[in-house]
């Protein structure tokens, strides 16, 4: 099914949103540096069973890129926007899935607004403190970090990051997909947003605090070859969320790009549990 999109205001910020399919709602949240199209390889499979909603988070993709004076770019700020998106679209309750940063936002939302979340899926989610990757280490440097991310992080470095960190180097992200994400990143406002997000989400302790309080039926999905967050962290997360399941996929950090059909089937089976 060809994806359709529309613009929706949430917390005063314009979001570009893919909204396609019919059935129970499945809301998908992407990670930093990617956008809603990271899920598009799964749409044909998912829209046979669900209404799929995938927003570009503030600062990414084709959504508005507010200044840091208007938007904090931390997990709490993203969570507030997504809660407002539920209201703007009149969703009521939905299945919620998040990848990386989107996983941290999904955890926060499931904790603060449990009435909105039917079932929760966390895909290679940001949660526990790890050794920062090169991009995050650079971003955290005073003065030099900002200049590097906003001015010097060119296409070659971006390609290397996507193909060696965000995906399994043995099966790297296709260059047309990498270049799509680079085009979305390569504007002054988008670079500012990316830098602000990397800095504002460096401390993951608030995310960890949310894990034990999640009450939704939950599944943790992880790429076996994730170079950013090792699979052992996914196993730990599944243990610390009461009753959560755990499933490994043969991918790196971004299974929606690397194994979209397999990930879509995992989503379908888990979210169809109530109707089985």
- The DSSP line for the chain is ----EEEEEETTEEEEEEEE--SSEEEEE--TT--GGGGGGGHHHHTTT-EEEEEPPTTSTTS----TTT---SHHHHHHHHHHHHHHHT--SEEEEEETHHHHHHHHHHHH-GGGEEEEEEES---S-----HHHHHHTSTTHHHHIIIII--HHHHHHHIIIIIS-TTSPPPHHHHHHHHHHH-SHHHHHHHHHHHHHTS--HHHHHHHTT--SEEEEEEETT-SSS-HHHHHHHHHHSTT-EEEEESSSS-HHHHSHHHHHHHHHHHHTGGG-
Question: What confidence score (pLDDT) does residue 133 get?
Answer: 80
Q: What is the pLDDT of residue 276?
A: 34
Position 250 scores a pLDDT of: 96
Digit-coded pLDDT (tens) for 137-187: 888 888 788 888 888 889 999 999 999 999 999 999 999 999 999 999 999
Q: What percent of the chain has pLDDT over 90?
A: 84
- For 192, the token pair is 């500012």
pLDDT for the residue numbered 2: 65
Structure tokens at 150: 């906003």
Q: In what order do the strands lie in the sheet with 25-29?
A: 5-10, 13-20, 51-55, 25-29, 94-99, 117-123, 217-223, 245-249
Q: What is the pLDDT of residues 205-224, one digit of tens each?
A: 999 988 888 999 999 999 99
The pLDDT tens digits of the residues spanning 212-258 come to 889 999 999 999 999 999 999 999 999 999 999 999 999 999 999 99
pLDDT digits (tens, 9 = 90+) for 112-149: 999 999 999 999 999 998 887 878 888 888 878 888 88
State the pLDDT at residue 154.
Answer: 92
Angle, CA of 11, 53 and 275, to the nearest 5°: 125
pLDDT tens per residue across span 35-62: 999 999 999 999 999 999 999 999 999 9
Mean pLDDT value across residues 20-41: 96
**pLDDT band at residue 260 using 50, 70 and 90 as cut-offs:** very high
Phi, psi of 254 (to 5 degrees): -125, 75
The pLDDT-based confidence of 23 (bands split at 50, 70, 90) is very high
């Amino acid at each position: 099914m060809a994806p359709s999109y529309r613009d929706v205001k949430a917390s005063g910020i314009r979001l570009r949103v893919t909204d396609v399919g019919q059935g129970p709602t499945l809301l998908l949240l992407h990670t930093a540096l990617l956008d809603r199209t990271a899920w598009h390889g799964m749409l044909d499979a998912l829209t046979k069973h669900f209404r799929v909603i995938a927003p570009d988070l503030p600062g990414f993709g084709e959504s508005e890129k507010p200044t840091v004076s208007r938007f904090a770019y931390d997990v709490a700020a993203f969570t507030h926007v997504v809660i407002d998106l539920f209201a703007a679209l009149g969703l009521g309750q939905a299945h919620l899935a998040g990848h990386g940063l989107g996983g941290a936002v999904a955890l926060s939302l499931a904790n603060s607004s449990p009435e909105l979340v039917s079932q929760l899926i966390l895909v290679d989610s940001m949660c526990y403190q790890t050794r920062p990757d090169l991009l995050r280490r650079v971003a955290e440097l005073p003065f030099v970090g900002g200049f590097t991310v906003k001015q010097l992080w060119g296409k070659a470095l971006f390609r290397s990051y996507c193909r060696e960190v965000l995906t399994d180097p043995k099966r790297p992200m296709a260059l047309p997909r990498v270049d799509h994400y680079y085009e979305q990143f390569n504007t002054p406002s988008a670079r500012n947003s990316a830098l602000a997000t990397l800095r504002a989400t460096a401390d993951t302790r608030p995310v960890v605090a949310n894990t034990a309080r999640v009450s939704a039926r939950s599944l943790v999905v992880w790429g076996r070859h994730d170079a950013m967050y090792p699979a052992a962290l996914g196993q730990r997360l599944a243990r610390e969320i009461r009753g959560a399941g755990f499933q490994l996929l043969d991918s790196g950090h971004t299974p929606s790009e690397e194994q979209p059909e397999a990930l879509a089937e995992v989503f379908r089976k888990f979210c169809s549990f109530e109707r089985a």
